[in-house]
Structure 1
Amino acid sequence: MVAVLAVGLVWAAGLVYLRKVWFYRDPPRTPDERSSSAVISPADGVVLYIKPVSGGKVVSEKLGQKIAISELAKAEDLPANGWLIGIYMSPFDVHFNYAPVSAKLSRMFRTQAKVNLPMVDMAEYVRLAILRRSVDLFGKRYHLVNERNTMILEPSGGPKIAMIQIADKFVNKITPFVAEGDELEAGQKVGFIERGSQVDLVIFADTVAPAVSVGQQVYGGKTVLAHLKRSK
């Protein structure tokens, strides 16, 4: 009986630690590269997909159709071409989000949801969170309807970038630390999402060289996702 109680207390203590401490850990982060061409990962997690954006749309191979970037971002007046990189944040990842480049935060679009749908089923969760392997979640229903916060970043001499924070079913809230008009530094903490979630980054430039691959583990505020060509 004593042993059973002890095990129960250990499990309870572990759960409290995860909920109250582990989810909120804030390790120091320094970008692996500080250059005007480097795009830093906005989040910890596994790279889900790297897809071209053409004519304002992205092809979903699973659905066999094109999805408008404006539908994902819930934002207006977005450029037509670029690249989309998706990152899945499991409950085991750091949940702070970071500015991918030094830029002005020109607009922020907050979209609420009636109900946040689960991002993954159990098999997908095990693959992503435990095995740390990629699953192509692009175009799933949650991707279009869950709560999100989109930051439109405008670097000096560089292409516009949209950073889309997407909530999972059990996420309590998306908390931004910045406001429209703020000047951000690459690697700066800009927000927090509780528990599992996702961040999509849309780089509106044709000349983007991805520096990561699908299935790779990346670290927010540290890993270089891509390099871009800036205008002179």
Structure 2
Amino acid sequence: MKFHKEGYVSLAVVVLFAFIINAIADYYMAPQLVKWLIYAISAFLIIVVLQFFRSPTKHVVPDESIVLCPADGKVVVIEEVEETEYFKEKRLQVSVFMSPINVHVNRNPVSGVVSYFKYHPGKFLVAWHPKSSTENERTTVVVRNASGVEFLFRQIAGALARRIVWYVKENDKVTQGDEFGFIKFGSRVDIFLPLGTEINVKIGDKVIGGKTIIAKLS
């Protein structure tokens, strides 16, 4: 387990805050009970940041016959929808909701070349809202695998998530299981698959990014 680079600033701010309030309590000789309360709050904040930005090491053997889950969380949507941004036709949508206690690293569900990328500024509706996929701040990534099949996936900001980070751009070669981004605090990732794809999860399943098989390809 390692600490993700996106958390360096947050950890520094929390540690500095904890140092300052502890120093103030010591300087003004606060009652012992108050000091212990401040110590407890400081430790809690540091632990929260450490767990939120944890980044488990994943060893993924790329497999073109499967689609891996792009994020840790819970499956909240499996349905046939009209994808209006890129494909402009029906696709199977699978959505994973990431709560604040989940690992927030986003991983490539397939290997291939990024054929499309776009960042969309937008609203901050709760991540499970039906319109969050099209109205919230988000990124859209399309990857074409070696067989020429394209897969679209989106990072979607939630009510708390105010920063989406991405590490890919058009024409980049990406490898299944490698990081393609990070979202701070509760959020959601959607993936759009070709019709007829065999879905390997169901609503309510807890899934792990870079490990759980979302779908199997024919």
TM-score of the alignment, normalized to the shorter chain, above 0.5: yes
1:182 aligns with 2:172: yes
Out of 112, 118, 125, the residue aligned to residue 121 of structure 2 is 112
Matches within 5 A, 1:65-144: 69-70=83-84, 75-76=85-86, 78=87, 80-113=89-122, 115-119=123-127, 137=128, 139=130, 141-144=131-134
Call closer, same or farther: CA 1:142–1:81 in 2, change over 3 Å: closer
Task: Tell me the residue number matched to 1:209.
Answer: 198
Runs of 5+ consecutive residues of structure 2 not aligned to the other structure: 1-30
How far is the alpha carbon of 1:145 from its aligned partner? 1.7
Task: Tell me the residue number matched to 2:51.
Answer: 22
The answer on whether the counterparts of 1:89 and 1:198 sit within 8 Å (CA) in structure 2 is: yes
Q: How many residues end up aligned between the 2 structures?
A: 188
Out of 48, 72, 76, the residue aligned to residue 76 of structure 2 is 48
Bigger CA radius of gyration: 2
Out of 32, 39, 43, the residue aligned to residue 9 of structure 1 is 39
Structure 1 consecutive aligned stretches of length 4 or more whose deviation exceeds 4 Å: none
How far is the alpha carbon of 1:29 from its aligned partner? 1.4
Percent same amino acid among aligned pairs?
Answer: 29
CA distance in 1, matches of 2:196, 2:129: 22
Call closer, same or farther: CA 1:158–1:211 in 2, change over 3 Å: farther
Out of 127, 142, 147, the residue aligned to residue 157 of structure 1 is 147
CA distance in 1, matches of 2:129, 2:216: 23
Spell out, residue by residue over 1:142-176, the C-alpha distance to the aligned partner (whole angstroms, 9 max, x if none).
34321000101111215211111000122231111
* Counterpart code for 2:125: L
RMSD: 1.8
Call closer, same or farther: CA 1:138–1:37 in 2, change over 3 Å: farther
CA distance in 1, matches of 2:176, 2:97: 20
| Greater relative contact order, per chain length (Cα 8 Å cut-off, separation 6+) | 1
The answer on whether the counterparts of 1:210 and 1:227 sit within 8 Å (CA) in structure 2 is: yes
What TM-score do you get using the length of structure 2 for normalisation?
0.79
Task: Tell me the residue number matched to 2:25.
Answer: none
Decide which structure has greater helix share. Answer: 2
